[in-house]
Amino acid sequence: MGNESVGSTVQGSLSGLYEQVISFLPAFVAALLVLIFGWALAILLGKLVRKVLELIKIDDLADRLGLATLGERMGKKLSIAGFGEWLIKWFFLIGIFVAATDILGLNQVGAFLYLEVLPYFANVIVAAAILVIGTVAANFLHGIILHSLNASRLGNAEAVSSLTRWAVLIFAFLAALSQLGVATSFIQDLFRAVVALLAIAGGIAFGLGGKEHAKAFLDHLSKDFRK
């Protein structure tokens, strides 16, 4: 009697396990198909975005604005088209992962991806965009100010233009960290300190650069006054 009881228990357990596997199998197959086709679609869309960005020659424009110089300093070629491909691909992949976890009934995993990973991924994208735009703007302003001061024959053109470039780069870096939520209070204090230091450095640079011109102007006024 005992053996029959054990046998029926084992049989019942195996039968229940079989039913669970059979009931879970359609959801697993559906989730697997969503992942496979979603992955392929994400890669295809990423390549399509890259192709469009390459057709409008966005990388050539970025290189002319100084992105190539930044890439050389980092020892890596930076590409806006490549970044766009990576961005679109992973944005869709995260959405595909959320859909697959919902199909499998893993609601907590899907909620984590949707509520935690996806928003942080968006913040990473914004922070990266801030760094890229800040770098391009810094190099562009550096060139404009350098050529303008050289054309005006003012002193310390390189110092002033370099100061401007580093100011924009630092602001972009701090803004990117703030976007990521990294030590927000510390970043705010550091931002105020950097602004103060740049203001002092800028005043010194402009003072040294305009020293000779100010002296010449005062000498001219003195001569006119004596006449």
Burial label for 127, CB within 10 Å (0-12, 13-18, 19+), is: buried
Phi-psi region of 155 (alpha: psi -120 to 50; beta: other; left: phi over 0): beta
CA within 13 Å, CB half, 186: 4
The span from the CA of 180 to the CA of 182, in Å, is 6
pLDDT of residue 43: 92
CB 81 within 8 A of CB 59: yes
Provide the pLDDT for residue 45: 92
Q: How far is CA 70 from the centre of its chain?
A: 15
CA nearest to 109, candidates 97, 127, 91: 97
Task: Give the pLDDT score at 65.
Answer: 65
Judge whether 98 and 114 are in contact, CB under 8 Å.
Answer: yes
Lowest mean pLDDT among 53-62, 78-87, 209-218: 209-218
Distance from C-alpha of 177 to C-alpha of 189, rounded to nearest angstrom:
13
- Confidence at 54, pLDDT banded by 50, 70, 90: confident
Q: What angle do CA 57, 42, 71 make, to 5 degrees?
A: 40
More confident residue, 55 or 153: 55
Hey, CA dihedral for 109, 115, 118, 120, is it positive or negative? Answer: negative
Q: For the segment 67-121, what is each residue's pLDDT rounded down to a tens digit?
A: 666 655 666 676 778 888 888 888 888 888 888 888 888 777 777 777 777 788 7
Nearest-angstrom CA–CA distance, 127 and 132 = 9
**pLDDT tens-digit map of 80-90:** 788 888 888 88
Per the CB < 8 A criterion, the answer to whether 94 and 74 are in contact is no
- For residues 22 and 93, the model is more confident at 93
pLDDT of residue 80: 78
Rounded to an integer, what distance in angstroms lies between the CA atom of residue 168 and that of residue 190? 15
pLDDT band at 221 (very low <50, low <70, confident <90, very high): very low
Q: Options 3.10.290.10, 3.30.70.580, 3.40.718.10, 1.10.287.1260; which CATH number does 109-227 get?
A: 1.10.287.1260
Domain ranges of the chain: 1-59+76-105, 109-227
* Distances from the Cα of 31 to the Cα of 91, 121, 207, angstroms: 18, 23, 67
In this prediction, residue 44 carries a pLDDT of 94
How is residue 66 annotated by DSSP?
T
For residue 152, give the DSSP letter. T
Supply the pLDDT for residue 102. Answer: 83
